[in-house]
């Protein structure tokens, strides 16, 4: 059986999970290399996964002929450049979200992909989550009529360390977290967001503001065809990892997500308890695996990937508009114009 040789770039928490999946759970793929600017970490992960090659840079990995595709799981700041360099080297790419932190960088990356004739998939893994995938099938089948209202909640459990903000390696909340909801907002509603109005706060952690970020954000959406929506993002919910989405249509509604890891309620002398989700890698474990399997299967079958660079661009444009709205405290149109990508 033909296998796709994959190199994973960036083997922190997210990248290591991808590497583990490719190594053990994706039949059509072979993990041939891992890379990280922290060379010792790359070497350690390679040893743990029994992979022969580890590299301290993307450039070195791209010289490895066995690497046919690159899975990019570096911090947000380096995504666009990674896509650009991998494309120039003729490698197909699965890049974690966001595609970039600016529209200009996104266009540069997409131009390189187009010129090289390679494939690029963006890691919007929620589309592969069984619950979200089932919701989309019902929407496409017309079971809720015309989608009219979109609501989404994304709450991380643990307070990010201040060092995470100080490093400047990842985008603010709209790029690093809400970007998933911006993608779902257009995918599930089958329409494009035309305008956003952001409301944000640092009330419980004002020191975050000096790094250009916020603790929580609420973004109102206006769609091209008349629909409306709202997305709430919060980075330190404390009680659980809480991701839920609602789509209300003209003849019905769909509710996706639950606080509970299992549908069980546990009772004892102290009362009732529920086991709640606590981390994105557990809540979306299946989705991360399914997306990589789909990426590999489509490449081996010479089929186009399902979640494209253009999908990444559209979600990024919404994030850019949301950040602009946050800064200017007014509604902002979502635009894909290259003249605005500066």
DSSP letter for each residue of 218-241? EEEEEETTS-EEEEEEES--SS--
Look at residue 260 and tell me whether its pLDDT is greater than 70.
Answer: no
Smallest CA-to-CA distance from 257 within 130, 157, 163, 141 is with 130
Residues of the chain above pLDDT 90, percent: 89
Cα radius of gyration rounded to whole Å, the chain: 20
| Contact status, residue 132 vs residue 245, Cβ threshold 8 Å | yes
pLDDT band for 257, please (50, 70, 90 cuts).
Answer: confident
Q: What is the rounded distance in angstroms from the CA atom of residue 183 to the CA atom of residue 229?
A: 13
Region of 226 please: left (phi>0), alpha (psi -120 to 50) or beta. Answer: left
Q: What is the average pLDDT score of the chain?
A: 94
| E strands, the chain, in order | 4-9, 29-35, 53-55, 69-72, 92-96, 120-123, 147-155, 193-201, 216-223, 228-234, 242-249, 253-256, 260-268, 271-276, 332-333
- So what's the pLDDT on residue 258? 75
| Contact status, residue 84 vs residue 184, Cβ threshold 8 Å | no
- So what's the pLDDT on residue 299? 97
Q: Which fold has domain 4-126+286-306?
A: Rossmann fold (3.40.50)
- So what's the pLDDT on residue 116? 98
pLDDT digits (tens, 9 = 90+) for 48-103: 999 999 999 999 999 999 999 999 999 999 999 999 999 999 999 999 999 999 99
pLDDT digits (tens, 9 = 90+) for 210-229: 999 999 999 999 999 999 99
Domain 127-279+315-340, CATH 3.30.360.10 — does that match?
Answer: yes
Q: Judging by beta carbons within 10 Å of its beta carbon (0-12, 13-18, 19+), is residue 179 exposed, middle or buried?
A: buried
pLDDT digits (tens, 9 = 90+) for 114-159: 999 999 999 999 999 999 999 999 999 999 999 999 999 999 999 9
Q: What average pLDDT score do residues 289-310 get?
A: 98
Domain spans in the chain, listed from the N-terminal domain onward: 4-126+286-306, 127-279+315-340
Q: What average pLDDT score do residues 335-339 get?
A: 82
Q: What is the maximum span of the chain, computed from C-alpha positions, in angstroms? A: 66
């Amino acid at each position: 059986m033909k296998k796709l040789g994959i190199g994973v770039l960036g083997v922190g928490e997210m990248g290591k999970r991808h590497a583990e999946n490719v190594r053990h759970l994706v039949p059509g793929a072979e993990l041939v290399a891992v890379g990280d600017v922290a060379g010792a970490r790359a070497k350690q992960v390679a040893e743990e996964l029994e992979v022969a090659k580890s590299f301290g840079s993307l450039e070195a990995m791209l010289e490895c002929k066995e690497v046919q595709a690159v899975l990019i799981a570096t911090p947000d700041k380096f995504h666009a450049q990674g896509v650009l360099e991998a494309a120039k080297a003729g490698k197909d790419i699965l890049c974690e979200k966001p595609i970039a932190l600016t529209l200009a960088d996104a266009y540069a990356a997409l131009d390189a992909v187009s010129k090289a004739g390679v494939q690029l998939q963006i890691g919007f893994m929620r589309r592969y989550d069984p619950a979200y995938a089932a919701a989309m099938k019902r929407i496409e089948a017309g079971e809720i009529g015309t989608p009219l209202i979109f609501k989404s909640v994304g709450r991380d459990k643990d307070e990010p360390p201040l060092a995470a903000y100080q490093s400047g390696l990842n985008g603010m909340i709209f790029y690093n977290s809400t970007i998933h909801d911006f993608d779902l907002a257009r995918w599930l509603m089958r329409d494009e967001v035309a305008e956003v109005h952001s409301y944000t706060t640092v009330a419980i952690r004002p020191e975050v503001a000096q790094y250009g970020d916020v603790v929580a954000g609420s973004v109102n959406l206006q769609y091209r065809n008349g629909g409306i929506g709202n997305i709430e993002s919060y980075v330190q919910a404390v009680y659980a990892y809480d991701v839920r989405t609602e789509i209300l249509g003209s003849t019905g509604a769909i509710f996706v997500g639950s606080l509970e890891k299992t549908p069980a309620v546990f009772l004892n002398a102290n009362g009732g308890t529920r086991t709640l989700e606590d981390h994105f890698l557990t809540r979306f474990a299946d989705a991360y695996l399914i997306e990589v399997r789909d990426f590999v299967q489509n490449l081996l079958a010479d089929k186009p990937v399902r979640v494209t660079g253009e999908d990444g661009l559209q979600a990024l444009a919404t994030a850019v508009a949301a950040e602009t709205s946050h800064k200017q405290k007014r509604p902002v149109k979502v635009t894909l114009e290259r003249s605005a990508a500066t």
